[in-house]
Structure 1
Amino acid sequence: MLKEEQHATPFRQACVGCHNGGGNIIQLGATLFLQDLQRNGIDTEAEIYRITYYGNRRMPGFGENCTPRGQCTFGPQLQDEKIKLLVEFVKLQADQGWPKIESYEN
């Protein structure tokens, strides 16, 4: 498996339903485009990790030990290594303007 595909797979599994192409079908101002990430104060890998792990407002958390339960996904949770790969993918795509659409729309 290519490194890019390893990074895109967790995104495809957990995020693409709401954030396809870096957008957000639920909350327009909470896209994964760099300008929205910066405006919302989550433009670093550490902040993207925190939001992905624990959730924030309408977005559920995907971490294995996510609490409180109401804020966490009811579906499969992601292992720490998968979240790290996902975060690297999101940050890289945001920095590049989400050019790799073909890598996660399949």
Structure 2
Amino acid sequence: MISLKNLKIILTTFLLIVTLAFVEIATNSQIALADITTNPTTAAEIFSANCAGCHINGSNIIRRGKNLKQKALKKYGMDSIANISNLVTNGKGIMPAYKDRLSEQQIIDVSAYVLSQAENDWK
């Protein structure tokens, strides 16, 4: 039998995934990327404050192969806003979850920022 607490977690996760999938499909990533283009400071600041400690310039000081370079993102299936957002939201392995620290929009923005930086080789 599923407890009420577990049911809430499952429903919240499901709603987040559906929302992220809708954003990805509806915008075809262009609107989110356009937001980053028009307001890069916000996403860059979010990344700097929350991610750069381990992922400075797209690298990974903890596990070198799990970096944010385009090749690694593709290798690990993290080459979409939805997939990166899911990882940032829920964490995985030693990477913590940021769902309690960042808003859904901040997570989407920083995910789009990571993709755009990877495309430019973090220059």
Is the counterpart of residue 97 in structure 1 residue 121 in structure 2?
yes
Q: How far apart, in 1, do the equivalents of 2:46 and 2:107 lie? A: 7
Taking structure 1 as the reference length, what is the TM-score of the superposition? 0.77
Query: How many matched pairs?
Result: 86
Structure 2 gaps, min length 5: 1-37
Is the counterpart of residue 30 in structure 1 residue 54 in structure 2?
no
Q: Which of 87, 97, 100 does residue 111 from structure 2 map onto?
A: 87
Task: Give the alignment of 1:12-91 within 5 angstroms.
Answer: 12-64=48-100, 77-91=101-115
* Alpha-carbon displacement from aligned partner over 1:15-54 (angstroms, at most 9, x marks no partner): 0000000000001110000001111111111110000000
Taking structure 2 as the reference length, what is the TM-score of the superposition? 0.67
Is the counterpart of residue 5 in structure 1 residue 37 in structure 2?
no
- 1:78 to partner: Cα distance: 0.8
Q: How far apart, in 2, do the equivalents of 1:81 and 1:41 lie? A: 21
- 1:58 to partner: Cα distance: 1.2
Runs of 4+ in 1 over 3 A off after TM superposition: none
Higher relative contact order (CA 8 A, sep 6+): 1
Letter in 2 for 1:22: G
Letter in 2 for 1:63: K
Give 1:73's aligned residue: none
- 1:10 to partner: Cα distance: 0.8
- 1:81 to partner: Cα distance: 1.4
Structure 1 gaps, min length 5: 65-76, 100-106
Q: How far apart, in 2, do the equivalents of 1:84 and 1:42 lie? A: 13
Instruction: Work out the percentage of aligned pairs sharing the same amino acid.
Output: 30
